[in-house]
Structure 1
């Protein structure tokens, strides 16, 4: 799988999902579906960025 080889893919997904969440917050109204999508993209960003940091730390400890 691509993400197992390139851990930077996790970081890119995290940053893009955080950017989408910020844009939804700025440009969209206050509808329940928009609030759900903001929470979803914020959660995806949190999980993928923490996963990237965890993999980065594991790689540094193995060297």
Structure 2
């Protein structure tokens, strides 16, 4: 349940919060630093999601082996 309900909700809240902060970042930081924040934020999110997906798949395989 955690892998398929709570984790996606946490990721969605993170994305929503990041989206809400972007206008403030754009107003207070230089254009170059804003671009850096935008790019690094998206790349970090992709990496974290990839790690979560890989771990979830590994955990599901392990649980299937235990169930046999």
The answer for unaligned runs of 5 or more in structure 1 is 1-6
Q: Which has the higher contact order (CA 8 A, sep 6+)?
A: 1
Question: Between Structure 1 and Structure 2, how many residues are aligned?
Answer: 51
Whichever of the two has the greater Rg, that structure is 2
Q: TM-score, normalization: structure 1? A: 0.61
More helix, by proportion? 2
CA-based RMSD = 2.6
Q: TM-score, normalization: structure 2? A: 0.57
The answer for unaligned runs of 5 or more in structure 2 is 64-68
